[in-house]
Amino acid sequence: MTESVREILARPAAGGGARVRGWVKTARHSKGVSFLEVSDGSCFDGLQVVAAPELPNFESEVRRIGTGWAVDVEGELADSPGKGQRFELQARSVAIVGETGADYPLQKKRHSFEFLRDIAHLRPRTNTIGAVLRVRNAASHAVHSFFQERGFVQLHAPVITASDCEGAGEMFRVTTLDPASPPRGEGGEVDYAQDFFGREAFLTVSGQLEAEIGAAALSNVYTFGPTFRAENSNTSRHLSEFWMVEPEMAFCDLEGNAELAEAFLKHVIRAVLERCPDDMAFFNERIEKGVLDTLAHVVDSPFERLSYSEAVEILEASGRDFDFPVKWGADLQSEHERFLAEEHVKRPIVVTDYPKNIKPFYMYVNDDGRSVRAMDVLVPKVGEIIGGSQREHRLEVLEARMQEQGLSQDDYWWYLDLRRHGSVPHAGFGLGFERVVQFVTGMANIRDVIPFPRVPGSAEF
Ligand code: ATP
Ligand code: MG
């Protein structure tokens, strides 16, 4: 493997040979010399290549090089007299590996993010999406390092499942039946007993129920995998396929859960700031002014804690004219969440103890009988970033809740069985990985922080 641009730029001093292979970001051909900025994606900056007329292919090839061409350059690393870069590579040879046509869509001008989504196969070569992908990678690594350092075991939850964890019915069906003529039962309904799995199956909306199985044996586990929601939400914060991080801890209550969530978010932010300073400087300057200050503030200050009831009081007293009315019992909408995090406390908040009627069956019912030990972590700009709870570990209460919500106990027999055998208090949360990347980078639309966004009406690439 050749040295990456990142490694070359990190050399202590100029001098010595170097080789760079990558794609030309910009080419400037002035009289008697060509300047190529070559990027290999290893870091935000490219390496400046200087090509002089002595090169045998100078006139025939080098002069033709334009944006997007793939090149392989060898030369001498020298201090750069030019502004904006420390080193330049004085080329001894410039080989052309791949040309682009005149229709190469990434010219040196600003492209809208909407346009770039239509060329998702090329957009990683732009400054912004390249930076997003490196930050995303650093955040992903930080997810694992956080849990691994604390002794959590990664549990690989299934992608195909028969249970609807959120009970919201927003699942994608997995089937091999012929849609034109599926086998039918006597009443004319589709007979899924004849389907591939011998029953109805779906893409998972959450690995939580399986993570609970893991926690009931290994104590502290986490999942990190893709999850799917067939909800028709055309918002800047929803994807049909997104990555979720779900820790689950045995012998843990809601307080312990909230502490973990706070430590976790701070760890991920710190790791990104440390590993991607150049990318983050770019986001701070070009995407969201001040995002670095916001993140420094988040890392340094304790998260606010509020109960849902207190949050409702604050919203009612705010004098704001919200689109959705605020009243005890109704779910908080994104405008409410953003008001609380962005304007009221100006940093992340953990809101706890939501009304039980708006939350799924598996959350621990409080003694008041009307609220559950749920928590949402809200951050400025993005709103909800984490949803979690202490789980209901008492068999009778859980059965009653399932009945209330019209869920079949047969479908969840194994989940109930866990409550019969060594059931312990436990808690966990789900964090939408893309929302974290959005928060950290300041990118406005969630479709631009995942390489290949899946949203209603679109699954290209
Ligand atoms: P929201 O109210 O924003 O739709 P939710 O209450 O449906 O979120 P949960 O079911 O609690 O979310 O999922 C846990 C986390 O997964 C959320 O806090 C969020 O960060 C993320 N998440 C949920 N739905 C999506 C989605 N469609 N796209 C991206 N991330 C999501
Ligand atoms: Mg939702």
Q: Residue 453: which pLDDT band, with cuts at 50, 70 and 90? A: very high
pLDDT of residue 83: 83
Cβ 238 under 6 angstroms from ligand 1: yes
pLDDT of residue 34: 98
Nearest ligand atom owner, CA of 360:
1
Task: For ligand 1, atom 29, name the residue with the nearest CA.
Answer: 238
pLDDT of residue 442: 97
Nearest ligand atom owner, CA of 454:
1
Of 334, 351, 384, best ligand 1 pocket probe by most atoms within 8 Å of the beta carbon: 384
Eight-state DSSP code of residue 175 = -
pLDDT in tens, 390-406: 999 999 999 999 999 99
Q: How far is the CA of 282 from the centre of ligand 1 (A)?
A: 28
Cβ 229 under 6 angstroms from ligand 1: yes
Residue 37, number of CB atoms within 10 A of its CB: 20
Q: How far is the CA of 198 from the centre of ligand 1 (A)?
A: 30
Task: For ligand 1, atom 25, name the residue with the nearest CA.
Answer: 238
Average pLDDT estimate for 120-142: 97
pLDDT averaged over every residue in the chain: 95
Cβ 166 under 6 angstroms from ligand 1: yes
Q: Residue 424: which pLDDT band, with cuts at 50, 70 and 90? A: very high
Of 233, 238, 447, best ligand 1 pocket probe by most atoms within 8 Å of the beta carbon: 238
- Lowest-confidence segment of 78-82, 86-90, 309-313, 417-421 by average pLDDT: 78-82
Question: Per mean pLDDT, which of 107-111, 159-163, 357-361, 424-428 is the most reliable?
Answer: 424-428
Residue type at position 182: P
pLDDT of residue 152: 98
Q: Does position 134 have pLDDT exceeding 80, yes or no?
A: yes
pLDDT of residue 25: 95
Q: Residue 166: which pLDDT band, with cuts at 50, 70 and 90? A: low
Q: Could you give the strand order of the β-sheet that contains 383-390, starting from the edge strand earlier in sequence?
A: 153-154, 220-228, 241-250, 426-432, 383-390, 371-379, 349-355, 304-307
Per the CB < 8 A criterion, the answer to whether 392 and 426 are in contact is no
Contact residues for 324 (Cβ-Cβ < 8 A; gap 6+):
330, 333, 335, 336
Q: How far is the CA of 259 from the centre of ligand 2 (A)?
A: 23
pLDDT of residue 283: 98
Q: Distance (Å, rounded) from C-alpha 334 to C-alpha 353?
A: 18
Cβ 432 under 6 angstroms from ligand 1: yes
Of 136, 143, 240, 242, best ligand 1 pocket probe by most atoms within 8 Å of the beta carbon: 242
**What percent of the chain is modeled with pLDDT above 70?**
98
Q: Distance (Å, rounded) from C-alpha 425 to C-alpha 392?
A: 8
Task: For ligand 1, atom 6, name the residue with the nearest CA.
Answer: 387
pLDDT in tens, 246-277: 999 999 999 999 999 999 999 999 999 999 99
Q: 84's torsion region: left (phi>0), alpha (psi -120 to 50) or beta?
A: left
Nearest ligand atom owner, CA of 205:
1
pLDDT of residue 79: 97
Q: Does position 168 have pLDDT exceeding 80, yes or no?
A: no
Q: Residue 375: which pLDDT band, with cuts at 50, 70 and 90? A: very high
**Can you list the alpha helix ranges (DSSP code H) found in 235-383?**
254-275, 277-282, 291-300, 308-317, 334-338
Question: Per mean pLDDT, which of 360-364, 380-384, 409-413 is the most reliable?
Answer: 360-364
pLDDT of residue 2: 82
Q: Residue 165: which pLDDT band, with cuts at 50, 70 and 90? A: low
pLDDT of residue 110: 84
Average pLDDT estimate for 198-204: 94
pLDDT in tens, 55-112: 999 999 999 999 999 999 999 999 999 888 899 999 999 999 999 998 999 987 789 9
Q: Does position 278 have pLDDT exceeding 90, yes or no?
A: yes
Per the CB < 8 A criterion, the answer to whether 458 and 437 are in contact is no
Q: How far is the CA of 231 from the centre of ligand 2 (A)?
A: 8
Burial of 297 (0-12, 13-18, 19+ CB in 10 A): middle
**End-to-end alpha carbon distance in the chain:** 29
pLDDT of residue 163: 76
pTM for the whole structure: 0.96
Nearest ligand atom owner, CA of 235:
1
